[in-house]
């Protein structure tokens, strides 16, 4: 029996952000486990403001989990009324009904301002609760057609890792859930904190949400990886430089055609798309962690001008850099 429940729910920690993960009969073990690992693991190196974590049972327990595990949670729906962030770690089946009391609890939590995050098939819980109407959302590539046909009011993103709609966040398959959770850590605590968590997990610190779920060669051979991995580090460290395909190809000793083919096979995007995503991530980090002017943010993140930054920032996030900074400061 695996017993999970509230951690550090003491008066001294009541003002800390509370993350609540759902547990249900037929629990998706991996998705649940990664939520616990990222948000529930004690991390004293993060200081006193790190998340509180709790688990809310959807059904009467003990709850069966995949892999022959049974879970007994200490709390129920009352925790959803307290949560700042709620995680739906998969669901027992895309055709399985979502209990009415869970729908009501999620709707109530969303109305009062809680963020709700789904991993993989957990998106169907959010859709059943009516929380995705008119919003972009994604799920595992095996389920995107079912989501689109079952919930036509949802703007289904067919081939991305995750979608951040502010207070509603959805991810593709299991590993993409890690990316989304790290993205949320980055939103809440900045890039350094997300990188620290990623290092403990021994995974890349950041994959942007628009990266494709399926790439033709997800694991490059050792010789190719030894050339492309340092190149990505170089590109990330020199965002303000102008990188042409010809220069990048020469740096790794490939022809332009071979370089473009292998870069996209390894990352799922073109060099230009990869650079844009990295520059936007850097701009967001600077807007969140400093008070430097937008022109300087544009320069440091590689956009060259505030006008270019505003154009791409608005297209990707639906907000200007200034309005984004203000929203983050007063969130």
Question: 132-169: per-residue pLDDT in tens?
Answer: 999 999 999 999 999 999 999 999 998 788 999 989 99
Confidence class for position 56, pLDDT limits 50, 70, 90: very high
User: Is 278 found in the same domain as 188?
Assistant: no
User: Is 172 found in the same domain as 49?
Assistant: yes
pLDDT of residue 72: 87
Contacts (Cβ under 8 Å, ≥6 apart) of 201 = 37, 38, 178
Domain with 235 in it: 222-268
Residue 46 included in any domain? yes
pLDDT of residue 3: 53
Answer yes or no: are the C-beta atoms of 86 and 117 closer than 8 Å: yes
Contacts (Cβ under 8 Å, ≥6 apart) of 136 = 155, 156, 157, 163, 165
Catalytic residues: 120
Compute the Cα dihedral for 28, 34, 39, 43 and give only its sign: positive
Would you give the DSSP letter of residue 17? P
CATH code: domain of residue 129: 3.40.50.880
Confidence class for position 213, pLDDT limits 50, 70, 90: low
Nearest one of 109, 146, 106 to 130, comparing CA atoms = 106
Last residue of a domain, one of 268, 290, 306: 268
User: Is 176 found in the same domain as 65?
Assistant: yes
Tokens of 137: 């959302």
Answer yes or no: are the C-beta atoms of 126 and 88 closer than 8 Å: yes
Residue 217 included in any domain? no
User: Is 278 found in the same domain as 263?
Assistant: no
User: Is 255 found in the same domain as 315?
Assistant: no
CATH code: domain of residue 291: 1.10.10.60
Answer yes or no: are the C-beta atoms of 21 and 90 closer than 8 Å: no
């Amino acid at each position: 029996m695996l017993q999970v429940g509230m951690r550090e729910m003491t008066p001294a920690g009541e003002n800390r952000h509370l993350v609540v993960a759902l547990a249900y009969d037929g629990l998706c073990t991996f998705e649940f486990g990664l939520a616990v690992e990222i948000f529930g693991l004690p991390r004293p190196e993060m200081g006193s403001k790190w998340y509180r974590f709790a688990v809310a049972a959807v059904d009467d327990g003990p709850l069966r989990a995949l892999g022959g595990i049974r879970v007994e949670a200490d709390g129920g729906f009352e925790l959803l009324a307290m949560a700042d962030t709620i995680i739906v770690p998969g669901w027992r089946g895309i055709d399985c009904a979502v209990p009415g009391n869970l729908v009501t609890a999620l709707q109530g939590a969303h109305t009062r301002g809680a963020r709700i995050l789904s991993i993989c098939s957990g998106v169907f819980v959010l859709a059943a609760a009516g929380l995705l109407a008119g919003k972009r959302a994604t799920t595992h590539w095996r389920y995107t057609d079912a989501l689109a046909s079952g919930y036509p009011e949802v703007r289904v993103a067919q081939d991305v890792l995750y979608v951040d709609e502010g207070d509603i966040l959805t991810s593709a398959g299991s590993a993409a859930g890690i990316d989304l959770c790290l993205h949320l850590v980055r939103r809440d605590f900045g890039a350094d904190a997300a990188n620290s968590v990623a290092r403990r997990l021994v995974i890349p610190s950041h994959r942007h949400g628009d990266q494709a779920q399926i790439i033709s060669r997800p694991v490059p051979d050792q010789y190719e990886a030894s050339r492309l991995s340092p190149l990505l580090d170089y590109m990330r460290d020199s965002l303000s430089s102008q990188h042409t395909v010809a220069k990048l190809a020469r740096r790794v000793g490939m022809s332009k055609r071979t370089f473009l083919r292998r870069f996209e096979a390894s990352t799922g995007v073109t060099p230009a798309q990869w650079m844009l995503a990295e520059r936007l991530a850097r701009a967001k980090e600077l807007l969140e962690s400093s008070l430097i002017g937008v022109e300087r943010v544009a320069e440091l993140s590689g956009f060259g001008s505030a006008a270019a930054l505003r154009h791409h920032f608005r297209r990707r996030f639906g907000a200007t850099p200034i309005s984004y900074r203000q929203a983050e400061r007063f969130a």
